[in-house]
């Protein structure tokens, strides 16, 4: 299903989670991550919402994240799968640690919440022209 508005909304929320201001804000993280949230991290580790609320805000310098190639698949009125490619950005602006990412978002009365996220290491990709 092609839904440009949904894609824009979920891309904005996903990218907000990449920002240090969000990563250090327990209240905002709790709004964006569903109580039953689970992540299969790039490292292979599994994380819950409680893990994220404990770990992420204490990260003194979250990495800068570059993301591109967002796509959404609306699975139902209230469930959507967001996929994209991401990489960390080093201080000189070079990309490294390339990852394919997928998130399942669920629409609740309070707005969209992420219920699942997975990161899978991938080969380097060319940065999209801006």
Residue-wise DSSP of 107-123: EETTEEEEEEEEEEE--
pTM assigned to the model: 0.92
Tokens of 3: 């839904």
Q: How many Cβ atoms from other residues are within 10 Å of residue 72's Cβ?
A: 23
The CATH code of domain 4-121 reads 3.10.450.50
pLDDT tens sequence across 70-103: 999 999 999 999 999 999 999 899 999 999 999 9
pLDDT tens sequence across 24-69: 888 999 999 999 999 999 999 999 999 988 876 565 677 899 999 9
Show me where the domains of the chain are located: 4-121
């Amino acid at each position: 299903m092609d839904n440009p508005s949904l894609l824009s909304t979920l891309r904005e929320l996903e990218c907000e989670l990449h920002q240090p201001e969000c990563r250090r804000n327990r209240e905002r993280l709790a709004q964006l991550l569903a109580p039953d949230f689970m992540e299969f991290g790039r490292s292979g580790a599994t994380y819950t919402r409680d893990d994220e609320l404990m770990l992420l805000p204490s990260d003194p310098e979250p990495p800068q994240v570059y993301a591109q190639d967002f796509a959404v698949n609306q699975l139902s009125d209230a469930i959507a799968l967001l996929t994209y490619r991401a990489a960390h950005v080093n201080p000189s602006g070079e990309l490294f640690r390339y990852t394919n990412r997928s998130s399942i978002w669920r629409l609740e009365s309070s707005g969209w919440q992420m219920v699942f996220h997975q990161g899978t290491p991938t080969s380097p990709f060319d940065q999209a022209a801006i």
